[in-house]
Amino acid sequence: MKGFATVLLLVTSNIFMTFAWYGNLKLQEMKITTDWPLILVILASWGLALFEYCFMIPANRIGSDINGGPFNLVQLKVIQECISLIVFSLILAFCFKTQSLHWNHLVSFVFLVIAVFFAFLK
Convert the pLDDT of each residue in 22-31 to its tens digit.
Answer: 988 888 888 9
Q: Give the long-range contacts of residues 60-67, CB within 8 A, separation 24 or more.
A: 60/6, 62/2, 62/5, 62/6, 62/9, 63/2, 63/3, 63/5, 63/6, 63/10
Distance, CA of 83 to CA of 74 (rounded, Å): 14
Residue 122, pLDDT above cutoff 80:
no
Please check whether residue 67 is in contact with residue 5, taking contact to mean a CB–CB distance below 8 angstroms.
Answer: no
Provide the domain count of the chain: 1
What is the domain extent for residue 27?
2-120
So what's the pLDDT on residue 97? 79
Model pLDDT for residues 73-91, shown as the tens digit of each residue = 999 998 998 899 889 888 8
